Amino acid sequence: MPVTLPQLTRREFLKRAALAGAAFALVPQSHAGLFSKSRDKNTFAFFSDTHIAADATLKHSNVNMADNLAACVRELAAWPVKPATVIVNGDLAFESGLPGDYGTFGKLIEPVRALAPIQLSLGNHDERENFWQAFPRDVTKQSSTLHRQATVFASDRANWFLLDSLEVTNAAPGEFGATQLDWLARELAARPDKPAILVGHHNLQAPGATSGLKDTAAFEEIFARHRQVKAFIFGHTHNWHVEQHASGVQLVNLPPTGYVFKEGRPSGWVRATLARDGAEFELRSLNPQHPEHAQVKQLQWREG
């Protein structure tokens, strides 16, 4: 399974806060306030494309990525309820997945552990071995099975399938690979009675394109055939967008927490709340004046 950073107890959090100092100053609340919040078991938070460098002062496209992640952490900490889980969907690291990148990322994301467990997955700017060294949980298990960060976890209203599309570090295309796709098909077949939400870093690749998911056709065949699949959530394109696939599966393209590719597009994070027959996805733009800030997409699950 992908590295899961379990939620910290209040005692663990205070101990780490005393040791870490400045990193925990990112949370603009009393520690007690963080732990007294109620949890919404059907709400999830998504960060994607954080692109954190070892040097927290580094800028790319005139954006300080560490500052952006810190701002998202502060807003999530101020949210009225705790999410069930926080998912960081790939490209945790700036460019080549250096060990120092994960060290800085870990410090920045640590305050979120007062709120919820965190699921970490990988994108094309990550490096699997360095990632495992930085977050060693489950390394032995992964190395002996898929050698990928793939897992299933259950929530009240959906089964979540986190997939790993990292093929070559710092090369744009991605690929799930036959072994992981076979695993996905088996895991879906074993769980037919609850909506399934798939999460992976790379976007579906259009014919003639070269920077998305190379095995798009094989992946589409699986999610079209397994009717309990209701949504595919991804990042990589740095572009907030929601549309419906021809199969009826909802496609949710997460915004970057770091920098955007196209000027004027929003960066930030996404709040998702599941209903029994669909879900609500809300963009939380880092720029509250952005015209799409707080935009809510109401998604209806396909039948079957």
| 116 touches 7 (CB < 8 A) | yes
164-252-7 Cα angle (round to 5):
60
Tens of pLDDT, residue by residue over 141-151, are 555 456 788 99
Closest CA to 128 of 143, 144, 118: 143
Q: pLDDT of the chain along its 304 residues, tens only?
A: 446 787 777 777 667 666 655 444 444 444 556 677 899 999 999 999 999 999 999 999 999 999 999 999 999 999 999 999 999 999 999 999 999 999 999 999 988 988 999 999 999 999 999 998 898 765 555 554 567 889 999 999 999 999 999 999 999 999 999 999 999 999 999 999 999 999 999 999 999 999 999 999 999 999 999 999 999 999 999 999 999 999 999 999 999 999 999 999 999 999 999 999 999 999 999 999 999 999 999 999 999 8
Q: What is the CATH number of the domain that holds 185?
A: 3.60.21.10
Closest CA to 94 of 61, 71, 118, 117: 61
To the nearest 10 degrees (0 to 180), the angle between helices 216-225 and 178-189 is 10
CA distances from 111 to 63, 76, 101 (A): 22, 10, 17
Torsion angle in degrees (nearest 10) through CA of 79, 250, 234, 214: 180
Specify burial of residue 135 (Cβ count, 10 A radius: 0-12, 13-18, 19+).
buried
| 272 touches 291 (CB < 8 A) | no
**Which pTM does this prediction carry?**
0.92
Instruction: Identify the residue whose tokens are 């992946």.
Output: 219
Tens of pLDDT, residue by residue over 151-162, are 999 999 999 999
| pLDDT score of 28 | 44
Q: Give the chain's domain count.
A: 1
For the chain, report the end-to-end CA distance as a whole number of angstroms: 27
Domain that holds residue 138: 4-300
| pLDDT score of 1 | 41
Edge-to-edge strands of the sheet including 241-244?
151-154, 159-162, 196-199, 229-234, 250-253, 241-244
Structure tokens at 159: 């089964």
| pLDDT score of 290 | 98
